[in-house]
Structure 1
Amino acid sequence: MAIALWSTTVALARSTSEQLGPLTAAAAVYSVSGSIALLRLARSNQRRQQIHQVPLKYLLGCGIPFLSYMIALFLAVGLAMNHQQVLEIGLLNYLWPTLTILLSLLIQKRQANLLLIPGTILALVGIFLVLTQGSHVSWGSILENISANPAAYLLGLVAAVSWAVYSNLTRRWARDTGRGMVDLFLPITAVILIVIALLTESGHAWSVRSLLEVGFLGTATYIAYWSWEASMRMGNFTLVSAASY
Structure 2
Amino acid sequence: MSKNLATLIGFSAILQWSSIVGLLKKISFTLGPDLSVLFMYSFSAVILLLLFRIPNLKQVPRNYLFFATILFVVYELCFSYAIALAQTAQQAIEISLVNYLWPSLTIAALILFKELKFNFFVIIGLAISLSGIVLIQTGNESFNWATVFANVQINPISYILAFLGASLWALYCVITRKYSQGHNPIAFFFLVISFVLWLKMLVFHGIPEIPHIDLNTGILMLMVSTVTALGYAAWNIGIIKGNITILVTLSYFSPIFSSLISMFILQTNLSLSFWHGAILVTVGSLICWISTSWPQIKTKLQLLKSAH
TM-score range, shorter chain: 0.7 to 0.9
1:222 alignment partner in structure 2? 229
1:156 alignment partner in structure 2? 162
The 5 Å alignment of 1:1-245 reads: 1-42=12-53, 48-49=55-56, 51-81=57-87, 85-124=91-130, 132=136, 140-147=146-153, 149-175=155-181, 177=182, 179-197=183-201, 199=204, 204-245=211-252
Which secondary structure does the structure 1 equivalent of 2:221 belong to?
helix
RMSD over aligned Cα, in angstroms?
3.0
| 8 Å contact from structure 1 (residues 19, 204) kept in 2 | no
| 8 Å contact from structure 1 (residues 107, 169) kept in 2 | no
Flag the structure with larger Rg: 2
Q: 1:157 to 1:79 in 2, by over 3 A?
A: same
| Aligned residue type for 2:22 | A
| 8 Å contact from structure 1 (residues 108, 168) kept in 2 | no
| Structure 1: distance between partners of 2:242 and 2:147 | 39
| Structure 1: distance between partners of 2:91 and 2:79 | 13
| Structure 2: distance between partners of 1:142 and 1:91 | 15
Which secondary structure does the structure 2 equivalent of 1:211 belong to?
helix
| Structure 2: distance between partners of 1:73 and 1:7 | 13
| Aligned residue type for 2:193 | T
List per-residue Cα deviations over 1:186-223 (Å, max 9, x = no partner): 12112222344564687543111111111121111111
Determine what percentage of the aligned residue pairs are the same residue.
31
| 8 Å contact from structure 2 (residues 21, 83) kept in 1 | no
Superposed displacement of residue 82, structure 1? 5.0
Superposed displacement of residue 53, structure 1? 1.0
TM score, norm. by length of structure 1: 0.81
| Aligned residue type for 1:6 | W
List per-residue Cα deviations over 1:61-96 (Å, max 9, x = no partner): 111110010112233345545556544432322221
Structure 1, unmatched stretches of 5+, are: none
Q: 1:141 to 1:18 in 2, by over 3 A?
A: farther
2:270 alignment partner in structure 1? none
TM score, norm. by length of structure 2: 0.66
Which secondary structure does the structure 2 equivalent of 1:206 belong to?
coil
Superposed displacement of residue 57, structure 1? 0.6
| Structure 1: distance between partners of 2:172 and 2:23 | 25
| 8 Å contact from structure 2 (residues 72, 189) kept in 1 | yes
| Aligned residue type for 2:16 | L
**Matched residues, number:** 235
Q: 1:27 to 1:108 in 2, by over 3 A?
A: farther
